[in-house]
Structure formats: C-alpha cells, structure tokens
Structure 1
Amino acid sequence: MIKILHTADIHLDSPLKTLALRDEALRDRVQTATRTALIRIVDTALAENVAALLIAGDLFDGAERSAKTAAFLTGQLDRLRAADIPVFYIKGNHDAENPITGEVSLPDNVHIFDGRGGKVQIEGADIWIHGVSFNSRHAPESLLGKFTAPVPGAVNIAMLHSSLAGAQGHDTYAPCSVAELSTMGFDYWALGHIHKRQIHSEAPWIVMPGIPQGRDIGEAGPKTATMLRIEDQRISIYEVPTSAAEFLDLRFDVTALDHDDDLRAKLRATLRDLASELSSDTGLLRLTLTGANARTWQILRDQDMWEETANQMARETGTLWLEKLRFDLTPPTSAPNAASALDELARLMADIQEEPGFAASLTSSLDALLSELPTHRRAQLVPDEAASTALRRDLASAGAAQLLAAMKGASE
C-alpha cells in the first residue's frame, strides 16, 4: 500500500485578514498560520512515510521577494529530502509571478513541471505523475492539450491548476470541464486553484483539496489536505487536518433568553462546545446575536459591554478569540397606533439621513477622517465612490440605531 499527499493553494506568507490581529497575544500565531500549515503538511508526509507530496499550484501568494520565505521553504523541503520523499510541484497563477520560484535553487527532491508538460515515475512504484505549469500569471485557455498520454497498465496521476468551468470569487484560469478530465484516461486528477474542497468525481478521482489554511471569514471552517491510498492500483482518499487557525461564523439566537443571566450562561456553554469541537489550534470567531427578546433594546444599548463579555468568554476556552461581535436583533414591535416621542424621533432621524445637506456634511467629515489613513488602507476601505456612499450610509444608520437604543433601553 502506497500513500501520496495532495495539497494546493498554500499561499505561503499570505496575510490572514482578521480583526483579531489587534491582540498582541494572538498576532504571531495568526501571522504565521500559512507557514504552520505547510509544516503540518510536511509533518504528515513524514509520519505517514508517503511516496510523494503533490503541490498543485499557488505555493506562493504574490510577487513579493522574501529571503526569509525562501529559507523557510527550502528548510521544509529539505526535511522531505532527508526522508527520500519526492515533491512534485506545478506553478499556478500566483507562483508564475513570484521571483522566488525562478531564483531559489530548491532541493533536488523537488520536481517542478514546466509549461510544456511532462511525466515522472515515482521511484520503485508503477505510478506516474503528470503535470503542466503556468508560464505566466494568465492562462485563459485550456492546458489539457499539453498533457502526455497516460502510461498503460500503471497508475497515472495528473496535476492541474484550473478554475474548471468557473467558480464564484475565482478568476478563470486554464478552463476545462469535469467531463473532459474524465475522458483523458488518468486515475486521479490532483487539482488546485479553488479554495473550497470538492470531490468532483470518484471514477476517475477528480479532487480539489481546498486551501490548507483559511485566510478570512470567507474561507471559514477547518482546512485539510488529501491523502491518497493506492493498493493493487485502486485509489481511496481521506482528509488530513492542516489549518492552524480556523475562522468560525456563529449565529446565536437570543430569543427566549429574557434575562441577562440566561443569555450569558447559554452563550458560555455554546462557546465551550464550539471550542471542544475545534480541529485547529485557534478559532477566530465572528459572532452574531440574532432574534429578539424582552431586553433587545438594552442589549443594543449596551453593545460595548456585550462585546467585552463575549470576548472574555471566548478567551476562557483557551482556543477561541472573538474577531467581531455583530448585532442582528429585531427590535420589539410597538403596540398598534402607538405614537411615542421615541418612535417619532426614529422617523425623524431616518428622514434626516436622506437630506442632501446631512449627506454633504457627513461626507466632509468622513473624508477628513479617511485622509488620516495611509493611501493603501484608504483604497482598501473605500476603493470607489459607491463604497464611500455605502460606508456613509452604514455609519449614519448605525449611529441612529445606537442613539435610539440608548434612549429606548433607558425608557423600557
């Protein structure tokens, strides 16, 4: 029985986008998460004595040159070299623009497929690895025509970095269809590029392993690599955990929790359960309070207090860190025909937000604040006029809601 480990989209040293970076105790752990993921991949390869490690593109993240990254990478690959484990690597769209891939001499156990394609036999096994790299960042056409034919009677594994027929949030690269891959005669397609794990077919195997370390809340959940078991030329697969930090998106319903003591007790128990099920070392939690109860206005009034409460409860678990607390609560409805002064105030604030003079004044104040930010940070926050308008509206609505909550919470 032979094992081969398949991964892709490591995006080495890609920064994790999380507000949890504000915490000094967590910062180092989060900033090195992609490196930790690679270390875990190498650890698994060594522990399982695999016959090969497959990296199906985007080992690197971008064009930045880093001697520290190069030294770290070669150090990990040297660990595999010492154990006589070969590494097969194809360049993806991010790798093609990274100077490290062309300037650093990687250990001789690493075979990098070029843009012309080719095949290599795993020593001592009737298994052939086929692969084609990107020549440049853009690959608008299919690369399937560059693959050599499968070797008859052997196990044939093909490595391809591709968007397949397209995926939301990913640019189109080396497009092709699952049907096309299925007809080419390979036993296993080791894919890369799409960050969500997906098994497209089992006969033949067509596997997108997903990113081994999520980088933001859009890549939530535990991340893995894929282990192949090859026995009598039959392939089976299973997942192995890789992520050091895991993004979590939890919606917590406060309905029926009419007392603060009940809310705190239920929230603490929920976070403890979440921590006990965590497969990564660290959980970066985005928590949203939903629903409505008798104290909704008081909760909205005391948002800062509840954020600190949730933050402390998360830390008590030893593994969870509160990235952000959101409030998506439904305010209690007023009695029919009610026309209190506060209801009238709410309507008045809504009308004011639509007035051109208020919008102009808020825009001026917002522009003054944004001008204090570094240029690249400002561009990330408000890349265009539409984003600026949306931010202005969000701030105005949040301010009005906070004022109303403070007054409602005090009066009810």
Structure 2
Amino acid sequence: MIKILHTADVHLDSPLRSLAIRNSALRDVVATATRTSFSQLVDVAISEGVAALLISGDLFDGKERSARTGAFLIGELDRLGQAGIRVFYIKGNHDAENPITGALDLPAHVHVFDARGGKQQLAEDIWIHGVSFADRHAPDSLLPRFHAPVTGAVNIAMLHSSLAGASGHDIYAPCLVADLIASGFDYWALGHIHKRQVHSEAPWVVMPGMPQGRDIGESGPKSATLLTIEHGKIEVREVLSSVVEFVQTTLDVTHVTSDDTLRRMLRQHLTEIRQKITSPVGVVRLRLTGRPPRYWQIIRDKDIWDEQAHELAQATGALWIDKFQVDLLPPETETDTNGASEELAHTMSLIRKEPGFIAIAQEEIETVLQDLPVALRNSLMGDEATRDALLERLTKAGADHVLALMKGVGT
C-alpha cells in the first residue's frame, strides 16, 4: 500500500483580504494562515507515511519576491525529505511569474516538471507525470505535452488547468474533463480552481481546492486529497487543512420585537456557526435580513449592534466578525404616515436627486477614496456605474439613519 498527498493553489504568503479584522492577535493568525496550513499538510504527510506530496501549481503567489518565503518553504521541504517523502511540483500561472521559483535551489528529493512535460517513477508500478507552465499565460491545452501512460502501472498526471472554465477564474490550459477521462491516466491531480470538486472517479479527476481560503469569497473549509493505492486501485479521502475558515451567513430577524430577542438570536446563530466550522478560527460576514417591526430602532443603533455582534462572536472563543451588514426592509404598515418624519423623508429624497447635491457628494466620496490603496479604490470606483451605485447606497444609508433617529425616539 502506498499513500500520496495531493494539494494545489497554496499561494504562500498571499494576504488574507479581510479588511475589517480589528484584533491584533487574529491579524497574526490571518497573516500566517497560508504558511500554517502548508505546515499542517506536511504534518499530515509525515503522520500518514505518504510516499509523495504532489503540488499541482501555484505554490507561490504573484510576482512578489520574499527571502522569508523561500526559507520557510525550504524548511518544510527538508522536513519531508527527512521523512523519506518525495515531492513532485508543477508550476502554475502564479508560479511562472514569481521570481522565487527560478532562484531557489530545491532539495534533491523535490522534482519540478518543466514545460516540456515528463514522467518520474515513484514505485515499481507507480509513475507521476507532469507539465509546468512556461509563463503566466497558457491559452492552449497542455495535454499534447504529456507522455503516454506506462503500461501495467498506476499513472498519475499533474495538470494546472481551468478545464472548460469556471466562474471567477481566467482561462488557463483549457481542456475538457472528457479528454482527461479518455487519456488513459488513473488519477488526474489538478490545480487552479480553488473550490474542491471530484469530476470523475473512474478514472479519478480531482480538483483538490486550496488548503487555505484567502477572503470571504473563498468561504467554507479547505482541504487536500489523500490517495491510497493498493493492488492497482486508488481510494481517495479529503483531508481538512484550513486554519482560518471564512463564513458568509444571513439571519432573518423579521420576528424580532425587542433588543433582548435580537441579542439572543445573534448569540444562538453564532454559536451554531462555531459548532459547524472545522477550522480553528472562523471569520464571519453576518447579514441581517427580514422586515422587523423594530426596523428603525435597529437602523438607528446599527453601530451598537455591530459592536455587540463582534463581542458575541469573540465570546464563542473562535469566531470574529469580518463585516456586519444590515439589509432590512421597513414595516409594511407604520403608525406615522403623515408626520414630520415622512415630510423629512420626502424632502431628503428630492435633495438626493438634485444635480448640485450629487456633485458635492461625488466630490466628497472621491476625496475620501484618495486615501485608499489604488486597487481598493478602483474596485469601489472602477467605472461610472460603480461610482453611481456607491453614491446611491451611501446617500440612502445616510437618509435612513436620519429618519431612524427620529422614528426610533423613545423606543
């Protein structure tokens, strides 16, 4: 029996983009999460007694050069070598543009496949095949570069590919799952798509996902894949690896009639999340939805509820709030329909549409955004439609807050 651990898209030292994290201890955990998850995979490889670790591309992240990253990686690879574990690595699109990959003198037990393709014998009846990216862009299929499977052996092929395409991922080394199935290999060790998916079991076509999510868009537990090969047959098991787990969640507060009720619902909801996550730390984006009778009071006290949500999350011992969002609808019937607040609401609605007000508001927004990093500023104000949507969202929130201060008085 031989075991092999398959991972991809490690993105060492890629920043975990959670802008609202306010706790210094958590920031330290988040800052080292990609390294810690990789170290844990090395621990798994050693404890399981695997024969090899497969890294199917994007071990590194982007163009940044870091001697500390290189030193960390060599240390982890040395741990594998001391345990008699070989490493097979193909370069993905991020690796191809990262200068570290060409500068590091990797240990002898690490084999890096080049862009021409090749194969390496792991055991008498097990061969590992792989093709690396030559540069960042790979618009054509890499399948023609693979050597033919070795007859009478278990053949494992490593490929970094977007397959036929996936939401949120650029097209790289495109191919069809049907082409992989028909190729004669017993296991396709894929990489590039950050979400785990087993596309086929006969033969195995496995996208392991990434070992550590980097932001709220990469939510849920992350993992690697453990292969067990015995008598020519392959069994597969998912191995959880994420240190920080991102969670997107909504809480319907339609029936909330008091602060105590809302506080109790928040506490219960966060406790349930804590029980469900598999990682040591959870970073939560929490959105309140519904049409509660206390709509105006909640809007008025949003900052207070934001703080309480942070405190209730931390009280679980493992959760932190990334962002607290209030996305509520006002009651369908209200007692005050002709009073001063309604007149004010009408007036503010008219003001928000005036060209002079819009111009002033746009100028204020642009002044504030100048202090933000360029990438974040562009994401918020990338084009005219995005700018207009941001302006509408902010001015409406401001008007609602003013009304909430009036309508929530004495309650």
Asked whether the two chains share a fold, i.e. TM above 0.5, the reply is yes
How far apart in 2 are the matches of 1:157 and 1:83?
Answer: 22
SS at match of 1:5: strand
- Which residue in the other structure is 1:9 paired with? 9
Pair 1:29–1:295, CA change in 2 (3 A): same
- Which residue in the other structure is 1:296 paired with? 295
Q: Percent identity?
A: 59
The amino acid across from 2:314 in the alignment is R
Computed over aligned residues only, the root mean square deviation of the Cα atoms, in angstroms, reads 1.6
- Which residue in the other structure is 1:44 paired with? 44
Aligned 8 A contact 2:21 2:321 in 1: no
1:334 CA displacement: 2.7
SS at match of 1:41: helix
Q: How does 1:194-205 map to 2 (within 5 A)?
A: 194-205=193-204
Q: Deviations over 1:145-168 (max 9, x none)?
A: 000000111100000000000011
How far apart in 2 are the matches of 1:410 and 1:162?
Answer: 58
User: After alignment, is 296-305 or 133-142 more displaced?
Assistant: 296-305
The amino acid across from 1:364 in the alignment is E
Q: How does 1:38-187 map to 2 (within 5 A)?
A: 38-122=38-122, 124-187=123-186
SS at match of 1:128: strand
How far apart in 2 are the matches of 1:130 and 1:406?
Answer: 66
Tell me, yes or no, if structure 1 residue 356 matches structure 2 residue 351: no
Structure 2 regions of 5+ residues with no counterpart? none
Q: How does 1:249-264 map to 2 (within 5 A)?
A: 249-264=248-263
1:385 CA displacement: 3.5
How far apart in 2 are the matches of 1:382 and 1:26?
Answer: 29
How far apart in 2 are the matches of 1:171 and 1:377?
Answer: 20
- Which residue in the other structure is 1:327 paired with? 326
Aligned 8 A contact 2:336 2:342 in 1: no
Q: How many residues align?
A: 411
- Which residue in the other structure is 1:307 paired with? 306
How far apart in 2 are the matches of 1:4 and 1:375?
Answer: 42
Instruction: Report the TM-score, using the length of structure 2 for normalisation.
Output: 0.96
How far apart in 2 are the matches of 1:386 and 1:292?
Answer: 29
1:403 CA displacement: 1.3
Aligned 8 A contact 2:286 2:324 in 1: yes
Aligned 8 A contact 1:119 1:129 in 2: yes
Pair 1:16–1:152, CA change in 2 (3 A): same
- Which residue in the other structure is 2:18 paired with? 18
- Which residue in the other structure is 2:209 paired with? 210
Instruction: Report the TM-score, using the length of structure 1 for normalisation.
Output: 0.96
How far apart in 2 are the matches of 1:334 and 1:362?
Answer: 32
Aligned 8 A contact 1:20 1:27 in 2: no
How far apart in 2 are the matches of 1:193 and 1:351?
Answer: 50
How far apart in 2 are the matches of 1:294 and 1:334?
Answer: 9
SS at match of 1:401: helix
1:381 CA displacement: 3.7
